């Protein structure tokens, strides 16, 4: 299975920005669609953004216009730029493939939005 390693989380004030990265092992990275997911305390994991293997992007309504997903297939890395952060964006963020179970969940990146 493909392993994912997320990085770039941290503490930020409301209205601030953070960038997350997720590096993948293996050689099948470019074949599949990839999503960013998040799980807040006491809530189920939800997908917030997806980028297809062709570069098409889609976002959850809660983050549309504030988050931007991108990928670099040569580096086997997917990114999430988060702007205008809100306290409700506080969660552990993960990346993984969409539509296949060939990826393993990583440790995630903790994002905390608080004043």
Mean pLDDT of 29-33: 90
Mean pLDDT of 67-81: 96
Q: pLDDT digit string (tens) for 87-103?
A: 999 999 999 999 888 88
pLDDT recorded at residue 14: 98
pLDDT recorded at residue 50: 98
Q: Which residue has the tokens 């809660």?
A: 62
**Cα radius of gyration rounded to whole Å, the chain:** 13
Angle at 39 between CA 103 and CA 7, to 5 degrees: 60
Please, are residues 49 and 59 in contact by the beta-carbon 8 Å criterion?
yes
- On the CB side of 12, CA atoms within 13 Å amount to 22
Mean pLDDT of 8-27: 95
């Amino acid at each position: 299975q493909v392993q994912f390693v997320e990085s770039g989380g941290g503490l930020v004030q409301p209205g601030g920005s953070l960038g997350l990265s997720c590096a993948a092992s293996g050689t099948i990275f470019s074949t599949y669609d990839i999503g960013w997911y998040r799980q807040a305390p006491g809530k189920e994991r939800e997908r917030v953004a997806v980028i297809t293997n062709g570069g098409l992007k889609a976002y959850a309504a809660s983050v549309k216009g504030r988050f931007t997903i991108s990928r670099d297939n040569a580096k086997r890395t997917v990114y999430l730029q988060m702007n205008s952060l809100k306290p409700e964006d506080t969660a552990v963020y993960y990346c993984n493939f969409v539509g296949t179970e060939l990826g393993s969940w990583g440790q995630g990146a903790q994002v905390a939005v608080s004043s």
